[in-house]
Amino acid sequence: MKQGVQGSGDTGVPGLRDGARVPRQTRAQDVDRQWENPRPPVARGEHTHGEPPVPRPRSAVQRSSVRGQILDALRHALVAGDLKPGEVYSAPALGERFGVSATPVREAMQQLTLEGAVEVVPNRGFRVAVRGARELAELAEVRALIEVPVMMRLARTVPAERWAELRPLAEETARAATSGCPATYAESDRAFHRAVLGLSGNEQLVQIAEDLHRRAQWPLVGGPVRHGRADLVADAAEHTALLDALIAEDLATVRALVGEHFAGAV
């Protein structure tokens, strides 16, 4: 931190000493100029006498980008079972694994803490949350309470051509399912559900449903993978069947498929 201008007569304003007076008109002009060219607020205790304005560093944007990439990678590792429930992982060790410093890893882990995926272990790192079948069933129930009524309303109001536009997303879930990778399928599955709910025009609904969906995809205790390839393929097939029913305006089939989909939600 730079030192302030020395001398007891320093007022903190460049070019102005104690005892000097500023004409009233000049003060008004200064205020006008401040509104036209506002300066960033200065925290108390900081000396900025004569300091030039500091440009916003590009590294802040790059750091945010790295943090986002690490967050995506950690979410992928959670769903894939690479980060196992109950295990503790340190930010430096994960940073070395991803080829970055510990800082973006720690920041990403803090976000996962807010989401309930991990918990902080003082002086050690982060422990992956331990989840059981009951929590998964509760998440499926809440998702059904939110999404089923919305889907039924959309089934009665959205024209067939809009549903047809979602066909590529349903086909993508089918391709992802054949890979047998739960993390790859999880991303395509969320994208399909997000697009369906997005037709409601309610962004808050989409965000809440996405959070619940993501939490439902975390691994259970007892194994890193909750569903095998056959289960993923069957789940993806329900997306295609649902679109077919929506395009045909077959509400009875839509209701049955939606109920079955959440009963065995992936």
155 and 115 in a common domain: no
Range of the domain at 90: 59-128
Residue 98, domain member (yes or no): yes
* Structural domain ending residue among the three candidates 100, 128, 156: 128
- Residue 105: exposure state from Cβ atoms within 10 A (0-12, 13-18, ≥19): buried
pLDDT value at residue 9: 43
193 and 73 in a common domain: no
154 and 252 in a common domain: yes
Residue 22, domain member (yes or no): no
Q: What is the CATH number for 87?
A: 1.10.10.10
pLDDT value at residue 211: 93
* Residue 131's pLDDT band (cuts 50, 70, 90): confident
* Residue 219's pLDDT band (cuts 50, 70, 90): confident
* Residue 260's pLDDT band (cuts 50, 70, 90): confident
Q: How far apart are CA 180 and CA 61, in angstroms?
A: 35
pLDDT value at residue 265: 63
- Residue 49: exposure state from Cβ atoms within 10 A (0-12, 13-18, ≥19): middle
Average pLDDT over residues 85-96: 94
pLDDT tens by residue, 2-11? 444 344 444 3
237 and 142 in a common domain: yes
Residue type, 90: S
* Structural domain ending residue among the three candidates 87, 112, 128: 128
List all residues 6 or more positions away from 38 whose beta carbon is below 8 Å from its beta carbon.
Answer: none
Q: What is the CATH number for 242?
A: 1.20.120.530
172 and 110 in a common domain: no
139 and 181 in a common domain: yes
Q: Who has greater pLDDT, 223 or 172?
A: 172
* Structural domain ending residue among the three candidates 107, 128, 149: 128
Share of the chain above pLDDT 70, in %: 72
255 and 195 in a common domain: yes
Q: Who has greater pLDDT, 125 or 42?
A: 125
Q: How far apart are CA 95 and CA 90, in angstroms?
A: 9
* Residue 92's pLDDT band (cuts 50, 70, 90): very high
* Residue 28's pLDDT band (cuts 50, 70, 90): very low
Average pLDDT over residues 157-173: 96
Check whether 56 has a pLDDT greater than 80: no
146 and 105 in a common domain: no
Q: How far apart are CA 34 and CA 84, in angstroms?
A: 55
* Residue 16's pLDDT band (cuts 50, 70, 90): very low
Q: How far apart are CA 261 and CA 34, in angstroms?
A: 60
Note the pTM of the prediction, 2 decimals. Answer: 0.69
* Residue 108's pLDDT band (cuts 50, 70, 90): very high
pLDDT value at residue 261: 82
pLDDT value at residue 54: 38
Q: Who has greater pLDDT, 20 or 199?
A: 199
Number of domains in the chain: 2
